[in-house]
Structure 1
Amino acid sequence: MVNIRTLDPSASPLDYYGAELRRLREAAGLNQKQLGDLIFCTASLIGQIETASKVPTRPFSQQVDAALKTDGAMCRLLGLVLRSQLPSWFQPYANMEVKATYISTYQTQVAYGLLQTADYARAVLAVHNPDTADELAAARLERQRILMREHPPAVWVVLDEAVLLREVGGQAAMRNQLARLLSYEKNPWVHIQVLPFSAGQHAALMGSFNLLRFDEEPDLLYMENYDSGCMTANPKVIKERSVGYARLQAAALSEEDSAALISRVMEERYGDKP
């Protein structure tokens, strides 16, 4: 039976999306099955999204906009929906991330979130959030849209060599993830270096961190622990971490040698085996 639960559109962005989808569908004179037939999905999926029991995807929103001629309204709303899926403690950082003009990051355990593939992101997030991994992965991929803007931020990434060797999500997922890293080799705004094990002790043994720079706001340092994040604009801390990051870049392989190492690991460790 079709679920016709009444939503409170003000309850959350997800509820608003569901209520708006139902309003637009009914205004077009379509039932859930008819809309589903137009966008090649089931009436059940339409019902789940209209009752806020399932998070919509960008392809779904694009198809709805095309079918109902809504001039991109559902895609624009989707950004708010996916942002609301992020953990509450992470949202302040996400709000600053979209404003940044320069992002530099050092990652010790996993590939940088803005460069993750869907399968890799889902595997990482499922470790602690198995029931909501799909929604969290969708929200992470939505954050990556800042790299597709007409004027994207400049991004400099230093990855510990362990990131390449730690198998996350299986061999196929790792191969695709390393291929994603290599795909940025010619991108003028994304630079990737690998810090090799041979570097020994280095300036970031305390763990991963991000530095954000802005056109009109103070620089920010962001670090995470198990279930929370910490941001600071303390000038002394920013200066120390900025110098530390420059030392990391100096100790890391060049971009060209980093790409060669990523390619070699991708083929030797995650390539097709006879």
Structure 2
Amino acid sequence: MHRYHIPIIILAVLAGILAVVLIFPVINIIITSDPGLLLAAIRDKEVFPSITLTLECAGYATLLALVFGVPLAYLLARFSFWGKSFIEAAINIPIIIPHAAAGIALLTVLSHGFVVGDIVKMTNVQIIDTKLGITIAMFFVSSPFLINNAIIAFNSFDAKLEKTARTLGAGFWRTFFAISLPLSFRGIIKGALMMWGRGISEFGAVVILAYHPMITSTLIFERFESYGLKHSKPVAALLILLCLVFFSFIIYAGNSHARHKEY
């Protein structure tokens, strides 16, 4: 056996162990779920509405991030200015803090007695324990995925293309919509799918800010607390299957982006 084969074998073994650790629990919960209970979960009056609500709120959060996050990503990718490093660091704060703590932070800011909470109360807009609250929690913890991917997408093509367009008479917005956005589109879509998938799986921040109406993660927690593993497992399996579908879309978007860059 050649000497260079040994490191390859070691790396292969380590990779195999990691793959088993990451994949086995996910596959196991699906294949060991009782088919009868799985069908019962599908027909459950609470399960389908919770899945619909989860998809809906994650979608709204993603749309908000597209509207506000993509322009911010372009600004960070193309311009240098005072405070840029601070903004780039601030974007990633929701990723590094515990999401339950993020929920407490949001609840504190949006509650009566704080400036933002008092302003919201004056407008008669209800946030706590509403769809809006769920959307805000999902937006807060998952928007970094979209913004960071959008920054990478804008940096993936030569800025000289934009400068050339402006030299030929195209204005800022025309250049952005005709060149910048199309060239970064696949990367932005990948980030949007990652954000949507992360929003779907969110629990910690949502359960603090908006326990009701229940999204799927909250329903799984309640079923586990009330009825144990047997009755929470089928709902968890359904949510995992849903997340795997979005994971497949993310892989497809990533592969499409890679093929597009090759050409």
Same fold (TM over 0.5): no
> Of the two structures, which has the highest relative contact order with CA contacts closer than 8 Å and spacing of 6 or more?
2
As a proportion of its length, which structure holds more helix? 2
- Please say which structure displays the higher CA radius of gyration: 2
TM-score range, shorter chain: under 0.3
TM value normalised by structure 2: 0.24
Between Structure 1 and Structure 2, which shows a larger proportion of strand residues? Answer: 1
